[in-house]
Every structure is written in structure tokens, then in C-alpha cells.
Chains A and B, each alone.
Chain A
């Protein structure tokens, strides 16, 4: 596909984006599409980070306010918000982020496990870290994003 992938067999392509002013990324293989913001229909009794559900060409998708999920500063909703539609195994969800930044190919040796620090909210969602052009990019653990079936109905 790209030259970057050829450099190392173990390179992972990441989609990086800004959320709550921080750099995050997801494995591009999980990304189905990127689309502009849409008005969500709110779900009763949903946790605060679940904005509701949106219509993606006839499919009903939950929309996650990623900043809220990560415990970050939630900025004002603007039309510039972007929704990254990702596959989480069996289900598909939309992640609301501030803006999409770049596509990066990161060799596996350049990724490191997050330091074992006192667990804050964010820590649980980061599976690895990498440095690109002096910026730390957090790689999201997508499976931790959606609450368990049992957890969510609170």
C-alpha cells in the first residue's frame, strides 16, 4: 500500500486525531470511515459519554463522546467535530473527536507500553505510546471504549 509499510513488516498504520487537545490514534484497520458531525438521538439512562445514536446510511450507531469517555476536557460542540466510525469486533460505533490529524506508519519497535503509573481514567484506554515528530501519540485500546453490556445500563 504505502512505502511505509514496506520498511518494516511489523509496522502498524495508525489514524491519529486530536481529542480534548491531546494526540490519540487508532489502528487504521479498525476505521470504517470518517464523517462530519451529526445530530445524535440521545438514549435514556445512557452514561454521559454516550451521546446517543446516529444514522449511518440506515444503520443505527452509538456515538461516543471520546473526550468524555477519556475523562478529558470536553470542548464545545462545533460543526468541526469529526466522527470516526470504528469496528469493535461485533459492533460498530462512532467516536466523536476534535479533528483528524494524519495517517502514520509506526514500526512495532517504536511503540512502547504505557508506563505503569497510578491508574487514572485515561490510562485504561491506552494500549501503547509512540513519539512522532516530538509529539507523544497515544494508541487507543478500542475494546475498552465501549462499556460491557452489563455495565452500561446503570
Chain B
């Protein structure tokens, strides 16, 4: 395994994407009028957590930006700034920049401050924060007078150490201090410490560094104990700094009758010889600063303190151990606890543990990659790890997907050979094979699920596209989304980003009217773009809808004529005209705008969608708006297909494209021209396409009577009848792409390997039909009657 910090860094960026997502969500909710504190908190926390991690990895640009953004959000959280819609818009902008900064940090790129600073300045100005709020008060001393009556800190429970006190009925109280050595715990301390041979105590250590001498007076207040602090550990921390001599001052210890078990009565005088300076020594007391009387004097002043010291106390000499491991130290605790009026944490793991903790290596590990990785893996086994997740290289999953694909093929081959042995239908082999089939499908489904993820991340990217493009065009646009949790193959999501971006830009730019036009036609000034995703009959359908003016078909037609895409007298249905938008080189914008006119037309969108095994269709109502509908396969890896024979070739037709199969009778067929036939099915006429001829395998036949046809349905409701020679089987096939090895083949989606090891091509029926009808349409005099 690689460097654990690198792993965490990588997972930090993954977490950032999630945080950015909830940031977007939160801002969207604020924009929708939810100003409850939890919504604002979610936003704040997202920025805060991004900053936190960025700090850990030294991503300064990110920290800086996140910090100022966080400060502004803190103002909102505290109710000192109430954001209006303009402010929320700015927050969105900040979120976008934050996202950019995260990705820049991930990719080691830099985003110039000229981009980030103006936004931050606007933010500061609006919210009323300023940059120099910042000051490091890290370890600044604080004088605290805490009322410890509240917060559940008072009323200490039964002290584990207390019973020991009952063994001291003879304790004569304060004046009789010499009685103290009889306390059960204390005198034993020296012997209780199995100390390693201490390094020879001298004025200088091995490295010859100058030793500093401190005398420390340390008198805890009661609040020190109730805050969970423990003098013993502080003494140990001091011991780790050098050589110490500790004396306990019990002079304020009352008689037992007056002893309040909740109070602390002891103070300590510590002599410390250390290489460290006073600041370091003081740091030991950082947590108890304000909870005790503390006096740290350098050696020169020590005489005075010695004077004030009370009668000789049993000395506790503890020397710094070379090994800082805490492993043996808790042995000490019970003894000390006996005399400390304090709750001491149980040193041992509670026996009531439900599960045995994973055995841990107790030796002090270096903070290096190897031991950390080992420690990490053992920590993974601890039962309390929250929602266990494993990060897996996508390549490994793809390998699994491929293997399962091979399994499917293998299963098919096995089924085929078993079928050829003509075993009885209910033979154990057949039954076993059925179960095998079921299992294979289950495995396949599970494997596919690994690759699936909610489409939400893609939708959020689109919300940014809407914001940016509407700002650039000066249009007021709102994006509505639905079905964000629809799960889609990861690769599909990635490859959808570009076409979808273009479609969204297109909707904002061309779909929606200008604000003035909207007002003029009595529409709401704010344009709506709606992005939805859902599963529909084994496919994923993504709709991009705008409530704009709809497609101006006369204009589209005119442009197509001007560009000689169609003949001037072509008779086209509305759908035909709409589909002209997908022709290469078509652009409806009068003036090439900054946005959509980037040399990318809807034809590119269409081919990207086709490349994903999807299709795209348009529906538009004049004055009401336009919907682009993308339909995609659930997975890129397998499909249910019908295996057919055509002109001696075996082909697979995706099952979900087939509406029905039928055998043609004379009554079904109508000749439309010398080579053009239509099929009459349930009152409708559908074009007849000879698959063998369309694919160039053979010349068109003279007669199709008695032939089998597959009725193919398209997203837009168009249909076509494909002539095949025979239907062989229905089965699941593994998709093997052709494009990488060969290139795109018109009418063919991909290939697959059949049970006999032979390759069969997978038909792209919709592409085939549109290619075929397209050929007959241009020149449009022979317009086919498709649709």
C-alpha cells in the first residue's frame, strides 16, 4: 500500500466532492427560502470541513478562500447577516470557486488570486466581514473563572479511589503530617515503577545541551479535576521533558471528617531539569491554565520556593524514559488514585466490551508509512468503524465486470452444449443450469451496482452551467432538478457531462427567450430549465426541458434550406424539422453567441449520446418550451438481446428496441415504390427495412411475404419493421466495443461473443433506421414516410 497520507489526501478530495455537493444543496435550499439553522449549518460545515482538511495538507490557497467564505457563512449562522437572493447568488459563486480551488489543489493546478480575490472582496463588503479578523491566539494565556456548577461537571460520582481513604481512620489530620507516609499508595510509588536504568543525570545531556532548571508550584483547583484533568499525567508530561523531583504538599489536606471528596487538597512542588525552555514547560499546563495556581520559576529563583516548602514529603523521582510509550505507566495509576481526591480513568479496558478489540501493537510506532499502514489496517477491523467503505481502483472493478461478462458467455456456451445433448427438460443438469443462470444474473447485477452512482453530481455541475450561462447572457434562469438519486453507471455519468453541458447551455441560450420577451408574452420573467432523470423500462431517461418559446420551425426549416440541408420544397413533419437540429453544421442562432456557438452543435451531442448506446429526441411546443430527451442503457457492459440470422450472419438486436415480432403476410405489405415497402400493422404504416440489404450483406429481396420482421420502436414513437431471416434465441450478451479497435460502424452498436466463440454484431436499430430513412430522405423528393 502506498503512503497513508497520500491515501487520506485522495480520500479527502473525494470527501470534498461530497461536501461541495451538500454545499450546493444547502445553498439551493437557502435560495428556496429555507433559512433554518440546520440548513445554514450544513453550508457552514461543508466549507468548514473543506478548510479543515485543506489545512492538514497545506493547501494554502484553498484554506485562505475557504476561511473567508466560512467567516461570511459564520455571520449568516450567527444571524448577523441575513442574505437576500443577491447574496445567495454570490454564495453560489463562492461555492463554484471553492469547487475550482478544490480541483486545482487536487490536480496541482493554481487558480490566480485575480479570480478569487474580487469575489472575496465583494463577499466581505456585502457581509461586513474583513480579512484581518484573523489572529492567532493559539496558546495565548487565558484567565478563566468558570462556574463549574453547570454542564454536568459537578456532583462527581463514587470515586474509585475513595474507598482507600476509609482505610485511613487514624489519619490525624493536617498537623500530623508525618502520618502521611503511612498512606497505602504513596510510599510504594518508587518501587511500583519498574524504571529502566536512567541516563546518568548530569548538568548536560549526551548532546551537551544546556539544561534548564525549573521549580514549579502547581496547586490545582477543584475545577481542574472536574474538567477531567489529572495532575499525575501532567507530572508525567513534565517527566518526559527531563529529570524531575516531585514533592506533594499535603498541608491543606483536612481531617477526614472535614474532607470533601469532591475537592482537591494537594499541591505539588516540582524540580525539573530539562533541555526545554519555559514555553515548552508551560505548554504542559496548557489545558489547566486558569484551573490551577501555577508558578514556574527558573533555577535562580528556586531558593525562595525551597524556603516556603513544607516539611519533607516522600519524594517521587521520575526520570524521563527513553521510550515514551505509555504502556507500563498505568500500573501507577491505582496507587496514586488512592490518595488523589479525583476520578481517575480506569486504566484497563472495560471487561464489558462486547467484542474483543483487535490486538494492537503497543510499541510506539514511528509516524511512517509502513507502520501507519499496518496500524490502519488493524484499525479497520475495529468494530466501531463507521459505515465501512472500501476505495477500489476502477480498473479492478472493470476487470471484475469483464470477468463476469466472460462468465455470462461461458454460461451461454454451457447452456448451448447442454441443449444439444437433448437431455430431458427436468434433468438435474437442466435444473442446475437454471440456477446457474439465475446466479450469473445476480452476480452481474451486483457487479453493475458497484459501478453505479447517483446522477446528482452531474446535475450539480449543470446547476453551475445554468448560473454561469444565464449570468453571461443576462437572463434570469432557475434550474429545477428531479431524480437526482437515479443511479447510473459511472462511465456514463462521466461521458454525459459534455453533451449535457451543451444541452443546458443550449436551453439557456436558445431555448429561453430574453427576459424582455418573456415579459412581453406574459410569461414569468424568470426562465425555467428542468433537468430530470428516471428509470424507464430498463433504460435511464434524462430530460432537459425549458419553458421558452419552443422551436421556431419555420425558421429552422429556412435555415436548413439556406444551408442546403434540405430541398426548398421538402415536406417535413414537425418532428422531421425538429430533428434537423441534429444535422451536422446546423446552428439556429442568428448571431453566434458566446455560449453555444463554440463550434459544437447538437450533432456532436447526438453522436456522443449514440456513442453511449443512447438516443436523443426532441419535443417542442411553440410558445411553451422544448424538451430534449436522452435515453441511455443502464449499463454499458451487457444487454438483453435477440439473436437473429440475416444473410448467413448472426446479429444481436437489443431487446428493448423490439416492440414485437411478426411474420409478414401479403396483406401486411404495401409497395410504396420500386424498392420501398411499408408494413401495415394495427392500422399504422411502418417502413420496411431489409436488414441484410441495409447492412450490405445482400441485395434487396423481391418479396418479403412470409418473412419475419422485428418491429422496432424509437424514443420519439417512430417505428420501423426490420426483415430478418430467422430468430434464434433471446439472451443476455456482453457488449464488446468496436470503436476502440475498429471505429464506428453505421447501424452497429457494438459486438459480442456468442456461446460458440464467434463474434456477433449488436445492431443499433435506431441508428440503422435513421440512416436508412436518412438515405431515402436526401434528396428529399423521395421522402420516406417515417413517422
Q: What is the interface of chain A, defined by CB distance below 8 A to chain B? A: 39-46, 50, 52-55, 58-62, 90-93, 149, 152-153
Contacts and interface: CB of A to CB of B under 8 A. Distances in A.
Given A58-B402, A58-B753, A60-B751, A41 B743 contact: no
B76 interface: no
A40 B760 CA distance: 10
Contacts of B745: 43-46, 153
Interface in B728-787: 736-738, 740-748, 751, 753, 757-761
B649 A41 contact: yes
Contacts of B751: 41, 53, 60
B743 A55 contact: no
B30 to A, nearest CB: 48
Given A58-B402, A58-B753, A60-B736, A43 B742 contact: yes
B649 A92 contact: no
A44 B738 contact: no
Nearest to B768: A44
Q: Which of B406, B409, B650, B751 gathers the greatest number of chain A CB atoms within 10 Å?
A: B751
A56 to B, nearest CB: 10
Contacts of A91: 740-742
Contacts of B744: 149, 153
Given A41-B758, A42-B649, A62 B746 contact: no
Contacts of A52: 759
Interface residues of B, number: 28
A43 B758 contact: no
Interface of B: 402, 406, 409, 649-650, 694-697, 736-738, 740-748, 751, 753, 757-761
Given A42-B649, A45-B746, A60-B736, 11 more contacts: A39-B758, A42-B697, A43-B761, A45-B695, A53-B741, A54-B759, A59-B736, A60-B738, A62-B741, A92-B741, A153-B744
Nearest to A151: B743
A47 to B, nearest CB: 11
Contacts of A45: 695-696, 745-747
B738 A53 contact: yes
Nearest to B694: A44
A55 B759 contact: yes
B741 A60 contact: yes
B759 A41 contact: yes
A147 B322 CA distance: 72
Nearest to B740: A91
A41 B402 CA distance: 21
A41 B736 CA distance: 14
A23 to B, nearest CB: 28
Contact of B697 (A44, A54, A152): A44
10 contacts: A41-B650, A41-B751, A41-B761, A42-B649, A43-B761, A45-B695, A45-B746, A53-B759, A54-B759, A153-B744
Contact of A44 (B696, B753, B759): B696
A41 B646 CA distance: 12
Contacts of B757: 55
Contacts of A40: 759
A152 B740 contact: no
Contact of B406 (A54, A58, A62): A58
A6 to B, nearest CB: 36
A90 B694 CA distance: 30
Given A39-B758, A60-B736, A152 B743 contact: yes
- Give me the 3 closest cross-chain CB pairs, A-B, nearest first: A44-B695, A41-B759, A62-B742
Contacts, number: 76
Contacts of B761: 41, 43-44, 53
Contacts of B760: 41
Contacts of A93: 741
A50 B694 CA distance: 18
Contacts of A153: 743-746
A43 B695 CA distance: 8
Interface centre among A42, A44, A53 (most CB of B within 10 A): A44
Nearest to B691: A44
Contact of B747 (A44, A62, A149): A44
Contacts of B743: 149, 152-153
B578 to A, nearest CB: 26
A46 B742 CA distance: 10
A152 B760 CA distance: 20
Nearest to B757: A55
Nearest to B753: A55
A91 B739 CA distance: 10
Nearest to B402: A58
Residue picked from A50, A58, A90, most chain B C-beta under 10 Å? A58
A90 B759 contact: no
A43 B748 contact: yes
A46 B760 CA distance: 15
Contacts of A55: 753, 757-759
Contacts of A42: 649, 697
A98 B196 CA distance: 83
Contact of B740 (A43, A50, A53, A90): A90
Contacts of A46: 745
A152 B495 CA distance: 25
A58 B410 CA distance: 11
A59 B761 CA distance: 13
A46 B748 CA distance: 12
A41 B651 CA distance: 10
B707 to A, nearest CB: 19
Contacts of B753: 55, 58, 60
Contacts of B736: 58-60
Nearest to A152: B743
Contacts of A60: 736-738, 741-742, 751, 753, 759
A61 B748 contact: no
A48 B406 CA distance: 31
A112 B745 CA distance: 38
Given A53-B759, A55-B757, A58-B753, A44 B741 contact: no
B442 to A, nearest CB: 22
Nearest to A46: B745
A60 B650 CA distance: 15
Most buried by A among B697, B737, B743: B743
B692 to A, nearest CB: 10
Contacts of B748: 43-44
Nearest to A150: B743
Nearest to B695: A44
Contacts of B740: 90-91
Contacts of B742: 43, 50, 53, 60, 62, 91, 152
A43 B751 CA distance: 10
A54 B527 CA distance: 53
A149 B739 CA distance: 9
A124 B761 CA distance: 32
A59 to B, nearest CB: 7
A44 B761 CA distance: 10
A79 B448 CA distance: 41
A92 B743 CA distance: 12
Contacts of A149: 743-744
A53 B752 CA distance: 11
A134 to B, nearest CB: 38
A55 to B, nearest CB: 5
A46 B745 CA distance: 8
